[in-house]
Amino acid sequence: MPAVISVPAIANEAELRVFVSALSGVDQVGVESRVAKLGTRSLKTSTKRRAIDLAISMVDLTTLEGADTPGRVTSLCTKARRPDPGDPQVPAVAAVCVYPDLVAHARRVLEGSDVAVGAVANAIPSGRASLNVKLLDVADAVAAGAHEIDMVIDRGAYLSGRWGQVFDEIVAVRAACGEAHLKVILETGELVTYDNVKRASWIAMLAGADFIKTSTGKVGVNATLPVALVMLEAARDFAEQTGRLVGVKVAGGIRTTKDALKYLVVVNETAGSAWLSPEYFRFGASSLLNDLLMQRLKQRTGAYVRPDEFSGD
Amino acid sequence: MTDDALTSDLGALAYDPAPESSSIARLRESYGLFIDGDFSAPESHEQFATLNPATEEVLATVAQAGARDVDRAVASARRAYDRTWSKTSGAERAKYLFRIARLIQERSRELAVVETLDNGKPIRESRDVDVPLAAAYFFYYAGWADKLDYAGFGANPAPVGVAGQIIPWNFPLLMAAWKLAPALAAGNTCVLKPAETTPLTALVLAEILQQAGLPEGVVNIVTGDGATGEALVAHEGVDKIAFTGSTEVGRLIQERLAATPTRLTLELGGKGANIVFEDAPIDEVIEGIIDGIFFNQGHVCCAGSRLLVQESVADEVLRRLLRRVDQLRVGDPLDKNTDVGAINSAAQLARITELADAGEREGAVRYTGACALPDRGYWFAPTVFADVAQSHRIAREEIFGPVLSVLTFRTPEEAVAKANNSNYGLACGVWSEKGSRTLWVAQRLRAGVIWANTYNKFDPTSPFGGVRESGFGREGGRHGLEAYLNV
Amino acid sequence: MSERLDVKKTYKLVVNGAFARSESGRSYEVTTSTGAFVANVAQASRKDLRDAVVAARAGQAKWWASTAYNRGQVLYRWAEMAEARAAELVEHLQLAEGLKKREAQASVSRAIDRIVWYAGWTDKVTQVLGGANPVAGPFFNFSLPVPSGVVGVVAPQESSLEGFVEVVAAPLCVGNAVVALASERRPTPAVVLAEMTATADFPGGVLNVLTGLTAELAPHLASHEDVDGLDLSGCADRGDELARLAAASIKRVYRERDKGAENPLRRLRTFVETSTVWHTIGQ
């Protein structure tokens, strides 16, 4: 493990390689047992209520289907602004996340709200297109008014050791984003090892990512708690060395309140309370929101809630 | 950015209390001695109180067994050995042990709560470590009972006879399982003496033995203080003594038995070195150091109480370690979110305090965790000493509390030399991503157990025990049978 | 008031943790030793066998990925289930083997105890069959027993329960998955016992039991290339021929020797491979 290394400005691939290679390894057994232990934390009463509201405010309500239509996006945006029409205390979600061609529509529907519009660009989910095409995709989404851009790294380049290419591409997309926030998806299910997750997290942060994100939601393995732990540790260490806080987004497969609270515990006890806000931690999910609403209502009434209590959007 | 933003103050998520209910314990007001399959009063009718160390409240009173009671227990064990247990086939013994394992699993929540109340350890540990492992040891040794021919000690290995077993207060139920399971599997009968401050789970275990239908007298449990243990050790009807506890007492027992045919195994103290090389996985190292010294409040004979860090990363490790120590949640052991519970007794607290003060006096740099401690009960905040020298008392004596001494080294040879510079030799940790070096170091460490990139791991299949003044004999695995076989 | 009419049970194949009729739709009649009707039992086809091997391959990965402790608990749970349903096993054993009730009870007890015996082996074989090897050099060298993989079993024709337990529990306890052909004329005790795996936390596909005609199925089992081991206890009469078929894919083959000379661990050892690891030692 390196002693405290101040983060260099990365001038070329060789420097990047030296820096990233010097990061200490990650022991799989240790990471997984740490997460298992954190998973036994018990959130009760007011903590649980606060945590549920916090989780709701961290949701990026997402629809990424070939069959998406303006109508579908409208109902999603309506839900995003007022997740529970029966209770104005319920916070709005952080953002809606759509394909670039639906960004303009989402912006119109969300006019006047604080809900951000995110777009997945960069030839998501495969990321297999030329850089020019990817940059056009990003520019398109930004021009349409996206506040946040999700890109996915080139896993082929990463896995074959072309880290400089991964880095350069993120730098280029970052530039194309302009004012928009950039979330860099590592697609950790395809990176497989925690060592890779850690290195890719650092490459993305060094290249200017505002957020590092686990998954597109389109491959077999999506967000997992140990992966989130490794990414949060990387974000914590990066902030410590640079003063810049990079957010972490977990996406795919998080469906229950119980799962979401486990992530919040990991955030709390790894990166710390600075990350416990929608500014620095997000859940990319769709069905999670309704479960959070159901558990929220249950906390208030004491009775278990039927799923149809909330809209299916 | 300020340090504040990076320390987890649990701000937005300060956890509300999440206490396990103490009523699950179903404690009785008083307990007798478990002899010949039933509870009975000691001849003296003397009872003593066992306290909840987290509140100093009395949990129950238990019987003080005198020499005559011990005699009764040994006689019961002898009778059971002669009449029943030695005539019970291995396959039948196995089925009793499987039953006991299942009953422990069934009553796991109750056992966990009782253990936490009596010992002061966090419910998370009693629930996730002590109780499941206790069941696992019975389950594992159950399988050996009818397979002793395959254990590598020759055909038809015979049991020893009556085993006297004296266990400590740090893992009361688990140590009872470590002792009873192999002894019964090998065909012995037992007289178990729980620690004075933590007798309750052994007494619940006695109820479990009744539920399992274990023949009367096969296991007898005599509660009491050191005098009870002495009487057991001195008893001529005992064929074997197994003792887990301090090196000081172990020495006395060995001397007492030196000129007798009584067989002996000792599992004694330790001053475990946790060795961290510069290439180790740092975040997991920090967790491993924490687990090594703060697990069970450091009341662990194999605790990693000496941290040996390679100088090139010492500052970085210490910085991260202290940040992590501040996150430890110390307090109500029944709270599911508690990481570090109560010190088991006033006497132990006094010893820890005395040694920690000595550390300060001798010039080590003391760092104490930021947690608030409860007003009542016995508490000691997690403490780390930096700049510790080999000659300091806190680097040599077993503290048996949540106190870590940090030393540094430069080369693998120096690490080994420092780790071995101790009269103890129970356990060590080695942290490195380089396998060949880990094995090189492991081969040279004088310790019974070496953990690599982990710490404080226990499993019924794995032999545990020390070298030098940490004792002799092994518990766990095939090796653990030897202590209870006449081979 | 008339006597209540029994609800009769259909005996199916146990494949991949589910109960299925043969894909062929065939069944055959099973009778008692005196010729009375017992049941129409599924008559498995070559394709059922093929499906069972696929299930076993997937099941074996899960079975071996679980801890030895866990496998021991699962096998012990199987014994618990068998004990709880012992009366049913006794009844089937009486029908199948023509035993008196007391004899059948004793046989069922022995079968259950045998499962318990094997349950205890799961976490002990490594220490008994494996170990560290003191090679002359700076290496840490150790050998571990690992399962062969998928074991095909032709269960004994006569001993329909005890014999069945022996041939399936031995390979299971060391981490293999099993495809067993039950006794052709006495299949129901094996089927009933195999049904209990569904309530004993067995991963699907770990134990698959086919009923049918041994002569029809055994050659396909012996020649199937994705079967790693073969126990020919139930077809000694065609043993040589089947062993030759097994040779094509270098299977580990178990054939019964003289009863008296039998080592109780030979079957278990037959379906275990030794995996040796060398690791350097140095600063």
- Count of CB atoms within 10 A of residue B14's CB? 12
**Residue C117 and residue B436: Cβ atoms within 8 Å?**
no
Query: What are A103's two structure tokens?
Result: 């960004």
**pLDDT tens-digit readout, B391-416:** 999 999 999 999 999 999 999 999 99
- Cβ contacts (< 8 Å) between B283 and chain A: which residues? 24, 26, 30-31, 233
- Chain A residue with the nearest C-alpha to that of B14: A47
pLDDT for res B319 = 97
A140-165 average pLDDT score = 96
- List the structure tokens of B302: 């194999």
Give 3-state DSSP helix, strand, coil % of chain C, rounded to 5.
45, 20, 35
Percent of chain A exceeding pLDDT 90 equals 85
Angle at Cα C227 formed by Cα C221 and Cα C232, nearest 5°? 50
Q: Do residues B146 and B271 lie in contact, with contact meaning Cβ atoms separated by under 8 Å?
A: no
- Residue A29 to residue B453, Cβ atoms within 8 A: yes
Kindly report the CA angle at B283 between B281 and B287, in degrees rounded to 5?
Answer: 110
* 3-class secondary structure, B447: coil
**Catalytic site includes residue B301:** yes
In order, the DSSP letters of B201-231 are HHHHHHHHHHHTTPPTTSEEE---SHHHHHH
Direct distance between the N- and C-terminal alpha carbons of chain C, in angstroms, rounded to an integer: 88
Residue B295, both tokens: 């697990």
Say which CATH topology domain A27-300 has.
TIM Barrel (3.20.20)
User: What average pLDDT score do residues A10-31 get?
Assistant: 93
Query: Which of B5, B316, B454 shows the shortest C-beta gap to A272?
Result: B5
Distance CA A210, CA C276 (A): 48
Which residue do the tokens 């693998």 mark? B412
Cα–Cα distances (Å) from B408 to B284, B367, B395, in that order, read 19, 17, 12
pLDDT at residue number C135: 96
* Chain B residue nearest residue C279, CA to CA: B436
Whether the Cβ atoms of residue A137 and residue A122 lie closer than 8 Å to each other: yes
ipTM: 0.93
Residue B349: CB partners within 8 Å, gap ≥ 6? B343, B378, B379, B380, B401
Output the average pLDDT for chain C: 96
Strand order in the sheet with B189-193: B38-40, B33-35, B219-221, B189-193, B162-166, B240-244, B263-267, B471-472
Q: What is the pLDDT of residue C106?
A: 98
Do chain B and chain C touch with ≥3 beta carbon pairs under 8 Å? Answer: yes
The pLDDT of residue B444 is: 98
- Mean pLDDT value across residues A300-306: 90
Does residue C265 sit at the B interface (CB-CB below 8 Å)? yes
Mean pLDDT of the C103-126 span:
98
The predicted structure's pLDDT at residue A82: 95
Kindly report the CA angle at B433 between B428 and B437, in degrees rounded to 5? 60
Angstroms from A215 CA to nearest CA on chain B: 23
- Give me the percent of chain C exceeding a pLDDT of 70: 98
Residue C257 lies in a domain: yes
* Cβ neighbours around A7 below 10 Å, total: 16
| C-alpha torsion angle, residues B394, B397, B398, B401 (rounded to 10) | -30
Cβ-based contacts of B438 with chain A (< 8 Å):
none
For chain B, what is the mean pLDDT? Answer: 96
State which residue of chain B sits closest to A34, comparing Cα positions.
B287
Three-class DSSP category at C24: coil
Does position B1 have pLDDT exceeding 60, yes or no?
A: no
B438-471 confidence digits (pLDDT tens): 999 999 999 999 999 999 999 999 999 999 999 9
Q: Given CB atoms, is A38 within the 8 Å cutoff of chain B?
A: no
- Which CA distances in Å does A86 have to A79, A81, A83, A97, A194? 12, 13, 9, 24, 43
User: B402 with B380: CB under 8 angstroms?
Assistant: yes
Q: Which residue has the tokens 């496998």?
A: C71
Query: Whose CA is closest to A290, among A89, A66, A80?
Result: A80
Helix (H) or strand (E) holding C223: helix C214-223
Average pLDDT over residues C265-280: 96
Position B11 pLDDT exceeds 70: no
- Residue B172 to residue B149: CA distance in whole angstroms: 31
Burial of B145 by CB count in 10 Å (0-12 exposed, 13-18 middle, 19+ buried)? buried
Instruction: Choose the catalytic residue: A213, A237, A262, A291.
Output: A213
Concatenated DSSP letters of A124-172: TTT--S-HHHHHHHHHHHHHTT-SEEEEE--HHHHHTT-HHHHHHHHHH
Question: What is the 8-class DSSP label of residue B330?
Answer: B
- Kindly calculate the radius of gyration of chain C based on its CA atoms and give it in whole angstroms: 20
Instruction: State how far residue A183 is from chain B, nearest Cα, in angstroms.
Output: 22
C5 occurs within a structural domain: no
User: How would residue B4 be classed by pLDDT, with cut points 50, 70 and 90?
Assistant: very low
Which residue do the tokens 């967790």 mark?
B287
CATH number at residue C237: 3.40.605.10
Per-residue pLDDT at B3 exceeds 80? no
pLDDT tops 90 at residue B224: yes
pLDDT of B372 reads 87
How far is C-alpha B427 from the geometric centre of its chain's CA atoms? 13
Overall number of domains in chain C: 1
Of C73, C120, C283, the CB nearest to B412: C283
Q: B398, B427 in Cβ contact below 8 A? A: no
What pLDDT does residue C1 have?
Answer: 56
Tens-place pLDDT, residues A158-171: 999 999 999 999 99
Identify the residue among B439, B459, B478 best suited for mutation to test binding to C, counting C beta carbons within 10 A and taking the highest: B439
Distance CA A85, CA A78 (A): 10
Query: CB atoms < 10 A from the CB of C247, how many?
Result: 12
The yes-or-no verdict on residue A44 having pLDDT over 70 is: yes
Token reading at C178:
């099993």
Q: Which of B297, B298, B255 has the alpha carbon at shortest distance from B398? A: B298
The amino acid present at B236, given as its one-letter code, is E
Per the CB < 8 Å rule, is B279 touching A1? yes
pLDDT of residue A309: 86
Measure the CA–CA gap between B87 and B104, rounded to whole angstroms.
26
Alpha carbon distance C257, A299 (integer Å) = 68
- Asked if residue C3 is part of any domain, the answer here is no
pLDDT at res. A102? 96
Query: Taking 90 as the threshold, does the pLDDT of residue B347 lie above it?
Result: yes
Cβ contact B10–A45 (<8 Å): no
pLDDT of residue B399: 97
Geometric angle at alpha carbon C248, from C242 and C254, rounded to 5°:
45
pLDDT band at A2 (very low <50, low <70, confident <90, very high): very low
Task: Domain of residue C263: give its range.
Answer: 10-280
Backbone angles phi, psi at B51, to 5 degrees: -100, 155
β-pairing, A281-285 vs B263-267, is: unpaired
Residue B9: band (very low, low, confident or very high) from pLDDT cuts 50, 70, 90:
very low
Structure tokens at B290: 């924490």
Cα–Cα distance measured from residue B282 to residue B316, given in angstroms and rounded to the nearest whole number = 9
Chains A and C lie in contact, requiring 3 or more CB pairs less than 8 Å apart: no
Q: Spell out where B369-402 has E strands.
A: 383-386
- Give the residue from B252, B220, B226 showing the smallest Cα distance to B238: B220
Residue C128 CB neighbour total at 10 angstroms: 17
**Which residue in the block uniquely carries the two structure tokens 């309370």?**
A273
- Is residue A242 within 8 Å of A7, Cβ to Cβ? yes
- How far is the C-alpha of C202 from the C-alpha of C197, rounded, in Å? 6
- Interchain contact B154–C (C-beta under 8 A): no
Could you give the CA distance from residue B62 to residue B165 in angstroms, rounded to a whole number? 18
pLDDT of residue A3: 39
In chain B, whose CA is at the least distance from the CA of C120? B143
User: Which residues, in sequence order, are CB contacts of C162 under 8 Å at separation 6+?
Assistant: C107, C110, C111, C114
Cβ distance of B279 and A276 shorter than 8 Å: no
Q: What is the pLDDT of residues B26-74, one digit of tens each?
A: 999 999 999 999 999 999 999 999 999 999 999 999 999 999 999 999 9
- The predicted pLDDT at position B484 comes to 98
Helical packing angle, C214-223 and C46-65, nearest 10°? 50
- Segment 190-209 of chain A within 8 Å of chain B by CB: none
Q: How far apart are CA B104 and CA B367, in angstroms?
A: 40
What CA–CA distance (Å, rounded) separates B24 from C106?
A: 41
- In this prediction, residues C136-158 reach a mean pLDDT of 97
Q: What is the pLDDT of residue A122?
A: 85
Q: Give which of B108, B88, B63 is closest to B217, Cα–Cα.
A: B88
- Coil, strand or helix: which one is B70? helix
Per-residue burial over C147-159, b if 16 or more Cβ lie within 10 Å, else e, is: bbbbbbbbbbbeb
Two tokens, residue B57:
């409240």
Compute the nearest-CA separation of B247 from chain C (Å): 30
Q: What is the pLDDT of residues C156-183, one digit of tens each?
A: 999 999 999 999 999 999 999 999 999 9
Tell me which amino acid residue B439 is: L
Which amino acid, residue B315?
D
User: How far is B4 from A311, CA to CA, in rounded Å?
Assistant: 41
- pLDDT recorded at residue B14: 81
Q: Note whether B297 and B380 are within 8 A (CB).
A: yes
Q: Do B279 and A273 touch (CB under 8 A)?
A: no
Mean pLDDT for chain A overall: 93
Q: Which residue of B has its CA nearest to C263?
A: B150
Distance CA A306, CA A290 (A): 11
The DSSP element (H or E) to which A213 belongs, if any, is strand A211-213
Q: Does A261 touch chain B (CB under 8 A)?
A: no
